[in-house]
Amino acid sequence: QVQLVESGGGSVQAGGSLRVSCAASGYTSTRSWMGWFRQAPEKEREGVAAIYIDGGSLVYADSVKGRFTISQDNAKNTLHLYMNSLQPEDTAMYYCAAGYRLGKGGPLSKDAFLYWGQGTQVTVSS
């Protein structure tokens, strides 16, 4: 059974930094995309960043380029998202995603992923 468990969210002031992590179990992520998404209240879930596991490819949403960094820790089967220069508009529930499917809009599309974690809240105050 695939399980994705996010951790590391919290509250921070604008300009601050946070790291969120996703521990994956029951799933072999080699040579496939995994991603981070976020959803603010009354907004659509949007892709933030994705990484092609063991392949080195990275993609970022324009809104986070230069501020967020996605990385993998194969030894611990863990995905990280380092978030710097956080702004109030980054406030959202952040979700880890796995189980990528081709032809569903690419690695920043929520329709491309089968498996989701429960989310971790990130709140940025001004």
Q: How far is the C-alpha of 81 from the C-alpha of 103, rounded, in Å? A: 25
The dihedrals phi and psi of 122, each to the nearest 5 degrees, come to -120, 125
User: Alpha carbon of 79 to those of 35, 109, 124: distances in Å?
Assistant: 8, 18, 22
CB-CB neighbours of 59 under 10 Å: 17
Which one-letter amino acid corresponds to residue 119?
G
Do the beta carbons of residue 104 and residue 92 sit within 8 Å?
Answer: no
Q: What is the pLDDT of residues 18-70, one digit of tens each?
A: 999 999 998 776 788 999 999 999 999 999 999 998 878 999 999 999 999 99
Q: What is the pLDDT of residues 106-118, one digit of tens each?
A: 999 999 999 999 9
In the chain, count of helices (H) and strands (E)? 0, 11
Pairing relationship of beta strands 120-125 and 10-13 according to DSSP bridges:
parallel
